């Protein structure tokens, strides 16, 4: 009897232990989502894979830069502005800055701070006449606006200066092109005046928008150009505009010159590819060819320069057919040799100029540009 009782007690004890184990297992599964002790233990020791932080639009843009060391992501801010950041290259002229539009307003330029945009201080306005500067590879430009009425009331008239060749001789050159050769010391004095007066120097896309009444340009604006890319321009005058950081356009005959720009401040634009020579009637080939032939020549020129925008008519000769060819080739503007100033509504294919000749001094320049 004693042995039988002991056996019964032992069996009951074993059953009690088994019951406790079952209850414990159920409790663990309940606490660990049904995966059991092994899964709970594995979960406690595993490290979840972190999700990468999405790149901002600026960071994503910078990652596409061919030269990360000089990359600059430019963002745009202000009322009515919804432009994606734009990639620029530090140390190179700003290129293709947007010219936004807003109903009932006229865009008045980009500025480095909201305060400068509000004040519209001309000397702080940022455009493609300046080399890109960019701390930490990014910066923000702020939009300024004015009214159509104020834009019209300003009545800005923009002079386009036209130079040709240069000479180191105070007495000038003794040939039939004598009038084309500006004495280099006169040129230096003229450029010193332009630099000291801090003229605003519009880009060609800005001039195009100004003519349409979509962009405000201050009265104190100026464009400098040279025709032909003559060796005297390259050797004597380019160092002058570069030292003074003055944006200048050189109209290049691409059939004769295919070299890149001689200066970060010099834009090279088309003086045609092979139309700077006389045609059948003694005038330039541009007024002797069909519109399709003119367009084909200008397309060749654009391939060399990598830009269209504006051309200068060789010898200043143009007619309706030449203008049709310019438009067919996709150019927006064409510069003549006719005297005058660009204002809102000027014919874009007949831009006038202020020609600078031998003997013209800085005082003469002041009279023409203010």
Give 1-14 as a 3 state SS string: CHHHHHHHHHHHHH
- Give the pLDDT confidence of 269-299 residue by residue, as tens digits: 999 999 999 988 889 999 999 999 999 999 9
> Quick one: three-class SS letters along 239-299?
HHHHHCCCCEEEEECCCCCCCCCCCCCEEEEECCCCCCCECCCCCEHHHCCCHHHHHHHHH
Instruction: For residue 123, give the DSSP letter.
Output: G
pLDDT in tens, 311-330: 999 999 999 999 999 999 99
pLDDT at residue 13 tops 70: no
Which tops the pLDDT comparison, 153 or 65?
Answer: 153
pLDDT tens-digit readout, 175-186: 999 999 999 999
Q: Determine the pLDDT at residue 289.
A: 96
Determine the pLDDT at residue 19: 46
What average pLDDT is seen over the chain?
A: 90
- 41 pLDDT higher than 60: no
- Please list the helix, strand and coil fractions of the chain in percent, rounded to the nearest 5, in that order: 40, 20, 40
Q: What pLDDT is attached to residue 235?
A: 98
pLDDT tens per residue across span 227-263: 999 999 999 999 999 999 999 999 999 999 999 999 9
pLDDT at 29: 54
Q: How many CB atoms lie within 10 A of CB 247?
A: 21
- Of 4-8, 28-32, 155-159, give the range with the top mean pLDDT: 155-159
Of the ranges 16-25, 152-161, 218-227, which one carries the lowest mean pLDDT score? 16-25
Residue carrying the six token digits 């990598």: 306
Identify the helix (H) or strand (E) that includes residue 142. Answer: strand 138-146
Q: Return the H-helix or E-strand segment holding 99.
A: none
Instruction: Give me the pLDDT at residue 45, please.
Output: 60
Spatial separation of the C-alpha atoms in residues 132 and 70, rounded to whole Å: 10
Q: Residue 35: which pLDDT band, with cuts at 50, 70 and 90? A: very low
In tens, the pLDDT along 83-92 reads: 999 999 999 9
Domains of the chain: 57-146 (2.60.40.4270), 160-369 (3.20.20.370)
| DSSP label of 91 | T
Predicted pLDDT at 5? 54
Q: How far is CA 322 from the centre of its chain?
A: 29
In this prediction, residue 63 carries a pLDDT of 87
Over range 128-143, report the average pLDDT.
95
Query: Is beta strand 223-227 parallel, antiparallel or unpaired with respect to 160-163?
Result: parallel
């Amino acid at each position: 009897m004693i042995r039988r009782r002991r056996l019964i007690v032992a069996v009951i004890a074993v059953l009690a232990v088994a019951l406790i184990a079952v209850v414990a297992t159920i409790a663990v599964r309940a606490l660990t989502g049904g995966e059991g002790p092994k899964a709970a233990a594995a979960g406690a020791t595993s490290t979840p894979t972190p999700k990468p932080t999405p790149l901002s639009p600026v960071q994503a843009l910078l990652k596409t830069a061919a030269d990360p060391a000089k990359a600059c992501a430019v963002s745009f801010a202000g009322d009515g502005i919804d432009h994606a950041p734009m990639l620029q290259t530090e140390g190179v002229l700003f290129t293709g800055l947007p010219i936004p539009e807003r109903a009932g307003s006229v865009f008045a330029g980009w500025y480095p701070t909201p305060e400068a945009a509000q004040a519209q201080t001309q000397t702080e306005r940022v455009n493609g006449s300046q080399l890109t500067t960019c701390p930490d590879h990014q910066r923000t430009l702020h939009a300024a606006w004015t009214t159509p009425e104020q834009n019209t009331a300003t009545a800005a008239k923009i002079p386009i200066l036209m130079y040709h060749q240069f000479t180191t001789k105070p007495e000038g050159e003794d040939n039939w092109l004598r009038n084309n050769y500006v004495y280099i010391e006169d040129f230096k004095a003229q450029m010193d005046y332009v630099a000291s007066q801090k003229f605003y120097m519009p880009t060609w896309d800005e001039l195009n928008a100004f003519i349409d009444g979509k962009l405000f340009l201050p009265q104190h604006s100026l464009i400098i150009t040279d025709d032909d890319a003559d060796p005297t321009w390259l050797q004597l005058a380019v160092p002058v505009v570069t030292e003074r950081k003055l944006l200048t356009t050189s109209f290049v005959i691409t059939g004769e010159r295919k070299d890149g720009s001689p200066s970060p401040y010099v834009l090279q634009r088309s003086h045609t590819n092979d139309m700077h020579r006389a045609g059948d009637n003694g005038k330039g080939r541009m007024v002797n060819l069909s519109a399709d032939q003119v367009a084909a020549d200008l397309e060749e020129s654009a391939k060399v320069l990598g830009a269209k925008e504006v051309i200068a008519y060789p010898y200043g000769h143009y007619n309706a057919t030449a203008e049709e060819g310019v438009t067919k080739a996709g150019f927006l503007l064409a510069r003549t040799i006719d005297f005058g100033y660009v204002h809102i509504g000027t014919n874009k294919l007949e831009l006038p100029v202020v020609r600078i000749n031998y003997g013209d001094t800085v005082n003469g320049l002041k009279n023409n540009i203010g």
